[in-house]
Structure 1
Amino acid sequence: MSFIGTLALILLVTLIVSQLFSRVGIPDVIGQILVGVVAGPAMLGWLQRSEMIEQFQEIGVIVLMFIAGLESDLSLLKKYLKPALMVALGGMLLPILVMGVAAYGFGIPVFEAFFIGVVFSATSVSISVAVLREYRKMDTKEGATILGAAVADDIGGVMLLSIMISMMNSQGSHVSGHGSTNLGLVLLLQVAFFGGSYLLIRWLAPYLMHLSSKMLPIAANSVMAMVICLGMAAAAESVSLSGAVGAFFAGIAIANTHKKETVNRSFIPIGYAMFIPIFFVNVGLSMRLDHFWDSIVFILVMTVLACLTKLLGSGGGAKMMGFPLDSSYVIGSGMIARGEMALITAQIGYEAHLLSESYYSDIITVIVLATILAPFILKHAIKRMKTA
């Protein structure tokens, strides 16, 4: 089947499954992920990851995070910046410590075990964003804290990965494509990126959107917003950050202009009609069950720990900063999903020989399982907070 036919089939199936899941009160992103699990290599093998699917899912992450930024309250993000940093710190340290020790307990060498802890310190807030939007919780103190913590988490993850690759290089290992990694330069470039983001939010985006209003093409505002979105995503990737971070700041920048609602109305159909469902299906396609039963104890233990360490680490950080217990539960559960961030970290580590082939597929399975469980836990937390 051609890619166009495959794309049409994926969108049709995800639409039907999302409808069924929504009717029984299950977040529709779960259905989309399960489409990838069932139709992909893990079970039926009808769908395979391809370069085109990878490109579409990358755009899906970018558009989803752009919408998240667009719908965020900048004053809330500023107000909850300090709690967000504490949430990110707790959500990184506990997985590194607990999951690293657990991996070592399963006989994995200490350096590799530590890297596994680093992999699970990552957070993919894209999945939580979809659930928060579904339950109209984006523009709340919990939503702002989760988004702020995810950005800090991404920066911390890049720093840890850079440090580990540098350590590997110093031991004499040659890593293709990573040999020139310079942590100091990476951090300097990231500081420059955040400085540029401030300029974009304060001056450049309002000017560009005002300029687009003067243009004749009917979709000029949306095209200019897309240029800003993709440009910021590319800039973030060029300084070793996730493109999702750049897209998030681009969304905040557009939200600071008079064209916020116009752009939001155009981007939601663009994202949810095609790119965002492909992203969630691709998460499911990442799962493999080749050695599932051989490693069942390792996978189950690590999956439970993957959920608990973020829930307790990030939720505990929120509680320490004065959030009520129910709010802390929402924040902790909002940080559980690992998704593309952990998958990317694991892939880079695998290529850099930080993660051996014998454990790579098991770690990918744990990432996907934790990502599937995360929306269920977040939904339970949101419902509990509503009834409290």
Structure 2
Amino acid sequence: MEQFLNLIPESPIVPFTILILVSLTIPPIFERLRLPGLVGLLFAGVVLGPNGMQVLSPDSEIMKLLSDIGKIYLMFVAGLEIDLEEFRRKRNRSLSFGLMTFAFPLTVGTAIGLSVGYGINTSILMGSLLASHTLLGYPIVARLGVVANESVVVTIGATIFTDIAALLVLAICISIHGGDFSATSIIIQLAALGIYAAIVLFGLDWAGKEYFRRTGNEESNQFLFVMLAVFLVSVGSQIINVDQIVGAFLAGLAVNDVIGHSPVEEKVEFVGSTLFIPFFFVGMGLLIDVPAFIQSLTTGIGLTLAIVLGLLGSKLMAATGMKLLFRYNWNETMTMWALSVPQVAATLAAALAAERVGLISEQVFNTVIVLMLVTSVLGPILTARFGSRLSIPKPNLQAPKEAWIPEKHSEIGLENPWNQFTVVVAVSNPMSVRYLVEMAGLLARHESGLVVPITITQAHVQMDEPQLDVTLRQSDRLLEKAAEVAKEFGVQTETRLRIDDDIAEGISRTAREFDASLIVIGWNSNTSLRARLLGNLIDNVFWSSHCPVAVLKLLEAPIDIHRILVPVKNITPQAIRTIRFAQLFADSNQAEVMLLQVCDRRTSREQVNELESELSTILASGPQVKSDIQVLVHDNVSDALLKASQSFDLVVLRSMRRRTAGGLAVSDVTTEMIKSLTCSFILFGEPHS
């Protein structure tokens, strides 16, 4: 091993390459073992660190830099992903639960620290490490369709209080540890932190909105603005003697409303979840002293058990307190407990900051690692168990047939010269023109509407470029072919050839000019790194469009499609609009629609019957086409849907993307199906979906 290590050049690029390799390969392996990917990253850090292969050193400058960036990024994303709108909706109850789920663990943790002989400052900090929580179970409640349940909303809202309060305690404890304790110094520190927080939250919010308003669609500059903001605020927090993770969290809250669920947010989170956050967890693994860690689990087993059981018990006390105050049922209470149990983001970042300044011992730091491992596994399991028993808030099921069509301009004070159902079809590939225009023609004929085939030619600096002339002639031929196909359906047609700097924006602008009811584009399977980072054409059209978008991958002509499958994950207004689209297409082509819902094995017969009844009501309120409903009980949603799709001509999927609160990507059923479907499919989505 030593001879092999001697062959590795001493260059900063080597550890960076190793970190990328670890981030790429290790998390998927652990997720297949049904363990969190971050556990794999910690394990990799231990194996590659001083107690293992000694390939990476926690003391190297490159590891310190990348680990610090990852720590800052982790806390920034934690602040960025807090749903402020949900917090505002139930702020009183969220604050109540936030106060209880912070105060009880803080008290229990402080008592444990004092009982084993730690000082008051260290003991209070130990308590604060138990007080925050990371919403690792959020993707699970989203999959179950119970995000709108009040108990889930309240728990999500409580996160903002627990994280801020825990980081505030950390800042005070580190300040006390670094200097003389006095009431005056604490008051000065709190005042400085309060003023700084106000400047960041209000000043950065205002500056961000102004910058985004002035820069329009310059996403690269907006991305750099966000990056500058987070690291500038982190540096500023150190100037006032507060740990940089406090500033990073404040920066996340400050730009939360500015970037919203925009492409810039996706780019920010993509960079973090792909690079820097995994680097932080590997760096944490490098710091674990294996002999000391084993000793913590043997000679220090009393402290470890006390902290783990103290956390579980105190979080349960907080959830039970909410049950008594607001009369939640036991399933809601236990879901609140399960969601508030995992200790990852704020806990690990705070523990690392405290350990580096000598405020907590190595034994306590190792105990926090054990706590993270236990709760990151236990929390999602409990969330799945109790979340599946929650009642799903019922949407308005009496939506009209046109529920998927957005408001017309005339209804908001603008004139629409066409004043009819309009389908904009983006054509670029001669091989797919017929199928795309056929789909648009069927829908437009059904609604007595207009088909607008368009081609977008990317602009050149010089408009007399020979290549531009060639492209324009090709576009003209495409439009002629599209117009011929549209005429076969007897619908009104208007072709448009547009020159634009950006293809996606050219499509969206044309659709807006025609007040389109729907955009139809062909499927693009570009999954390159550049596409993931900068977004592909489909992502950008979804984001910039004002109306729904249908992305088609058709293996046969639309007029030959007669059996349509619509998977329904949970009943939401967005799901209803997807069903309406499928019904409209079926009505235009004498096809039949099958709604398929895959349930967990723990779903009761009463819940299945209720779901079938609701789906029947949805179908009855739309276009009257031949339809059916099937509810399957299966452990693997993707496998069940793929097997069912083999009997259908077309699958209509809803566009949706998810991420965890910790910044690590989660696979989506829709993504899995798109990769494996052997029949035609349509990805239907609404603006900003």
Judge same fold: TM > 0.5, yes or no.
yes
Which residue number corresponds to residue 168 of structure 2? 155
> Does 1:196 pair with 2:209?
no
User: Aligned to 1:219, what secondary structure does the other structure show?
Assistant: helix
Which residue number corresponds to residue 3 of structure 1? 12
> Does 1:92 pair with 2:106?
yes
Q: Is the 8 A contact 1:209 1:259 kept in 2?
A: no
Identity, % of aligned positions: 20
Q: What's the CA shift string for 1:240-266, capped at 9, x where partnerless?
A: 444333333323333313664121121
Q: Is the 8 A contact 1:61 1:276 kept in 2?
A: yes
Q: Is the 8 A contact 2:219 2:264 kept in 1?
A: no
Deviating more after overlay: 82-91 vs 293-302: 293-302
Distance 1:5 1:164 in 2: 37
Q: Is the 8 A contact 1:237 1:243 kept in 2?
A: yes
- Unpaired segments ≥5 residues, structure 1: 105-111, 171-180
Q: How many residues align?
A: 359
Distance 2:84 2:14 in 1: 41
> Does 1:76 pair with 2:82?
no
Tell me which amino acid in the other structure corresponds to 2:71.
V
Q: Is the 8 A contact 1:310 1:333 kept in 2?
A: yes
> Does 1:344 pair with 2:353?
yes
Structure in which a larger fraction of residues adopt strand: 2
Deviating more after overlay: 8-17 vs 141-150: 141-150
Q: Is the 8 A contact 2:175 2:242 kept in 1?
A: no
Residue 275 of structure 1 and its aligned partner are, at CA, apart by 0.7
Q: How does 1:1-388 map to 2 (within 5 A)?
A: 1=8, 2-49=11-58, 50-78=60-88, 79=91, 80-101=94-115, 103-104=116-117, 112-123=118-129, 128=134, 131-132=136-137, 135=140, 140-163=153-176, 182-200=185-203, 203-213=206-216, 219-257=220-258, 260-291=261-292, 296-322=297-323, 324-335=332-343, 338-349=347-358, 360-388=361-389
Q: Is the 8 A contact 1:65 1:126 kept in 2?
A: no
Tell me which amino acid in the other structure corresponds to 1:153.
A
Q: What's the CA shift string for 1:358-387, capped at 9, x where partnerless?
A: xx3323322222223231122223222323
Residue 56 of structure 1 and its aligned partner are, at CA, apart by 1.2
Q: What's the CA shift string for 1:202-241, capped at 9, x where partnerless?
A: 5232112223337xx6611111111222222223333344
Q: Is the 8 A contact 1:91 1:335 kept in 2?
A: no
Residue 45 of structure 1 and its aligned partner are, at CA, apart by 3.1
Residue 95 of structure 1 and its aligned partner are, at CA, apart by 0.5
Residue 341 of structure 1 and its aligned partner are, at CA, apart by 0.8
Q: Is the 8 A contact 2:319 2:334 kept in 1?
A: no
Q: Is the 8 A contact 1:60 1:276 kept in 2?
A: yes
Tell me which amino acid in the other structure corresponds to 1:68.
A
Tell me which amino acid in the other structure corresponds to 1:34.
F
User: Aligned to 1:120, what secondary structure does the other structure show?
Assistant: helix
Residue 349 of structure 1 and its aligned partner are, at CA, apart by 3.3
Q: Is the 8 A contact 2:105 2:130 kept in 1?
A: no
Q: What's the CA shift string for 1:74-111, capped at 9, x where partnerless?
A: 1333412342133222221110102321x23xxxxxxx
User: Aligned to 2:300, what secondary structure does the other structure show?
Assistant: helix
Tell me which amino acid in the other structure corresponds to 1:55.
L
Residues 87 and 241 of structure 1: is their aligned pair in 2 closer, same or farther, counting only changes over 3 Å? farther
Distance 2:379 2:242 in 1: 26
Q: Is the 8 A contact 1:283 1:368 kept in 2?
A: no
Residues 291 and 58 of structure 1: is their aligned pair in 2 closer, same or farther, counting only changes over 3 Å? closer
Choose between structure 1 and 2 for higher RCO, CA contacts under 8 A separated by at least 6 residues: 1
Residue 189 of structure 1 and its aligned partner are, at CA, apart by 0.6
Residues 284 and 374 of structure 1: is their aligned pair in 2 closer, same or farther, counting only changes over 3 Å? farther
Residues 41 and 120 of structure 1: is their aligned pair in 2 closer, same or farther, counting only changes over 3 Å? farther
Residues 326 and 163 of structure 1: is their aligned pair in 2 closer, same or farther, counting only changes over 3 Å? same
Tell me which amino acid in the other structure corresponds to 1:22.
E
Distance 1:156 1:126 in 2: 11
Structure in which a larger fraction of residues adopt helix: 1
Q: What's the CA shift string for 1:18-41, capped at 9, x where partnerless?
A: 111122322111111111122223
Distance 1:306 1:58 in 2: 27
Q: Is the 8 A contact 1:343 1:367 kept in 2?
A: no
Q: TM-score, normalised by structure 2?
A: 0.47
Residues 55 and 132 of structure 1: is their aligned pair in 2 closer, same or farther, counting only changes over 3 Å? farther
Residues 251 and 206 of structure 1: is their aligned pair in 2 closer, same or farther, counting only changes over 3 Å? same
Residues 63 and 372 of structure 1: is their aligned pair in 2 closer, same or farther, counting only changes over 3 Å? same
Residues 336 and 258 of structure 1: is their aligned pair in 2 closer, same or farther, counting only changes over 3 Å? closer
- Unpaired segments ≥5 residues, structure 2: 1-7, 390-689
Tell me which amino acid in the other structure corresponds to 1:379.
P
CA RMSD of aligned residues (A): 3.1
Deviating more after overlay: 229-238 vs 146-155: 229-238
Q: TM-score, normalised by structure 1?
A: 0.80
